[in-house]
A and B are shown apart, each in its own frame.
Chain A
Amino acid sequence: MRASRHLHHVYGWLLLTPAAILLLSFTHYPTVATIWQSFFSTGTALRPSSFVGLDNYRFMLEDEIFWKVVGNNLLFAAGTIPASIALALLMAVWVNGRLPGRALVRMAYFTPTVLPMIAVANIWLFFYTPEIGLLDQILRAFDLPTRNWLGDPDTVLWCIVVLAVWKEAGFFMIFYLAALQALPPELEEAARLEGASRAYYFRRVVFPLLMPTTLFVLVNAVINSFKLVDQLFILTKGGPDNASSLLLYYIYEVAFSFFDDSYAATLTVVLLAALALISLGQFLFLDRRIHYR
């Protein structure tokens, strides 16, 4: 009896091993190594690395560009998260109804998601280009003043936000669409029999039932708002004067343009901590308010 239970344990652990090895070597070890490295100076072939304690963190607090990109990232999150979720829900409700050419509309909404970001950014670059870009040509047709969209610190970040919302909304729509289709039709029939208006039905029945999906989408949207930087490489390179730079892009610049690995590690630790805190908060506080079936 005891031997068979023992064997059972071994069997379980063996099954877990492949996943555990992958997690350890590609998630946990790099995380620990990054935290470890953030306490050392960057070494070059001629100047070996040495322990500097919290120096990198002190440097970070004095780094104006760091604060600038953190501010940008918060604005970017505030701009993309609610807009893309609202748009996704709207599109999902729309294409869930009986409308002609439904498959075509669904596909059209989903297209931005499947296109590679780099290709998309190259297209949007020509939308935003002053004088010859699509946007300026439209404005010109209506005799409205044109702008240097990506060259102006007041507009550049919002140009990036619009692109991100456009890119993401279709992806989130798929989750909402799946959730909407899983709703039992009896609910709607019952609501109609009771004389509930469509708005009331949506507010009190559909939306609460979609909350688990909303939490999932929200978590993804938050993570994406820190993760989505591909477009910057093509559109602005973070400029002008860091007006459109985001935290992850700045980490890339520090690591691969300045080759300051340790400072990049320091910034990564901050990003990791922030994301961990946000996710934790979402699960702890929102989870309680969500109705799971």
Chain B
Amino acid sequence: MTLGTRRHGRGRFGALLGAALATAGMFAAPPATAKTELTMYYPVAVGGPLTKIVDGLVADFMAENPDITVKAIYAGNYNDARIKALAALKAGEPAQLSVMFAIDVFELIEQDAIVPFDDLVGAEGRAWLDSFYPALMANSRALGKTWGIPFQRSTIVMYYNKDAFREAGLDPEKPPQTWDELVAMGKQLTKRNGDQVERWGIMIPSTGYPYWMFQALAIQNGQELMNAEGNETYFDAPATVEALEFWVAMGRDYGIMPEGTIEWGTLRQNFLEGKTAIMWHSTGNLTAVKNNAKFDFGVAMLPANKRRGSPTGGGNFYIFKQTTPEEKQAALRLIRYLTSPEKTAEWSIKTGYIATRPDAYETPALKAYIEEFPYAAVARDQLAFSVAELSTYQTGRVRKALDDAIQAALTGAKTPEAALADAQKLADRVLRRYR
């Protein structure tokens, strides 16, 4: 049983720890019944004490299910979590389940790493699969099956500084609803002192997950970026180019956003220090912003151009193929526990992530929370306008092609049209064999 610790793949320290625990294990009394051990990797991509929250939820589960032991291992950001999970798999010591990027689904299927939930849940479980918001399931379904269960899911929302709105003579209860209003208000909100900008109108992060922010702009301009089969992209469509032109123009032409790229990781700090009046960021940051903002702030849906829209984002639960039937059922029990209405509500309150199912919003805890803090419902309301996040075969490469194009355009190295044409060419090259 103590061998389970080796599964973490933490190298030297993992091995040392394993040895230490093995020694300790010799003196421990053998358990009365066979326990099922589960190892779960999970990523954290936003601020706040998320690891503590996950540990708390898992501890609650083990208290109620004494026959299952769960080791929840924080595995870095989304990329790191996927790398660790797949590396462990290749080494023949896989975790049984993991939270990974919802958009890794095609990659995981191609690696033959995961099992579809349809085969595990039985007849009664099909209703469970249908209990989540359909928009959140869009990235889970592929090849006619369900491969992922929504957990830490988000949309992009617009955080704005109400004090800055008041100072600029704007109504703090009326955030921009359209691109035109965003530009007009952005100009009023940008505060200059000679050549220096003391406060920018808006910041949209363009490192870390640039494709995600860009997808929101593209959808608002009425353009999807890929097909549901994950083997075609529309990076060079005219509406896509227009969307990138608008992003570039916010810095270059309208002067409401800094030129160059904007760092994902430090943007929240910029917003909290009043250096930008508006930021677009994951709703997963909501609780952290709420706890740290020293000014009056608001949260709104993203503005519309041809339509409203944001991609969904975040992580799903996956169950790995190389597990015993008992482990699969134990993993399923853990997932069903963590996605129950009450636990989902608790998770949503503590982080700001969307509660993944409508009935969670009927629980007394979440109802009371939204009563007191209505902004907690913005991301949910925006689900009505949400689409699946960019996800294709060879998703790492395709995503990087788009990320590079966005950054090339924002830094002025290429025109939006040329940059996106290059990205499309590269995406076509790697996706051709999946058509």
A: residues with CB less than 8 A from B are 44-46, 65, 125-126, 129-132, 140, 145-146, 148, 150-153, 236-237, 239-243, 253, 256-260
Provided the pairs A253-B400, A257-B79, A259-B86 are in contact, do residues A129 and B261 lie with their beta carbons within 8 angstroms?
A: no
Complex CA gap A273/B191 in Å reads: 54
- The reply to whether A140 and B258 contact each other, CB–CB distance below 8 Å, is no
The residues of A that contact B394 with a CB separation of less than 8 Å are: 258
CB distance from B390 to the nearest CB of A (A): 15
The residues of A that contact B83 with a CB separation of less than 8 Å are: 256-257
Complex CA gap A145/B207 in Å reads: 23
- The reply to whether B86 and A45 contact each other, CB–CB distance below 8 Å, is no
Provided the pairs A151-B258, A240-B260, A258-B394 are in contact, do residues A44 and B265 lie with their beta carbons within 8 angstroms?
A: no
Given contacts A129-B263, A257-B396, 7 further A-B contacts (CB under 8 A): A131-B197, A131-B275, A151-B258, A151-B411, A240-B207, A241-B407, A259-B111
Complex CA gap A241/B265 in Å reads: 17
CB distance from B135 to the nearest CB of A (A): 27
- The reply to whether B396 and A258 contact each other, CB–CB distance below 8 Å, is yes
- The reply to whether B112 and A45 contact each other, CB–CB distance below 8 Å, is yes
Complex CA gap A152/B260 in Å reads: 5
In B82-128, which residues have CB < 8 Å from any A CB?
Answer: 83, 86-87, 107, 110-113
The residues of A that contact B87 with a CB separation of less than 8 Å are: 256
- The reply to whether B396 and A259 contact each other, CB–CB distance below 8 Å, is yes
Complex CA gap A280/B238 in Å reads: 53
How many chain B residues touch the partner (CB < 8 A)?
A: 41
Contact of A236 among B195, B196, B207, B410 (CB under 8 A): B207
Contact of B270 among A65, A125, A131 (CB under 8 A): A131
- The reply to whether A239 and B407 contact each other, CB–CB distance below 8 Å, is yes
Contact of B263 among A150, A256, A257 (CB under 8 A): A150
Complex CA gap A239/B263 in Å reads: 10
Smallest CB-CB separation from B414: which chain A residue?
A241
Complex CA gap A129/B408 in Å reads: 19
Provided the pairs A125-B265, A126-B266 are in contact, do residues A241 and B258 lie with their beta carbons within 8 angstroms?
A: no
- The reply to whether A240 and B410 contact each other, CB–CB distance below 8 Å, is yes
Contact of B411 among A65, A140, A153 (CB under 8 A): A153
The residues of A that contact B396 with a CB separation of less than 8 Å are: 253, 257-259
Smallest CB-CB separation from B86: which chain A residue?
A259
The residues of A that contact B112 with a CB separation of less than 8 Å are: 44-46
Contact of A130 among B110, B258, B408, B414 (CB under 8 A): B258
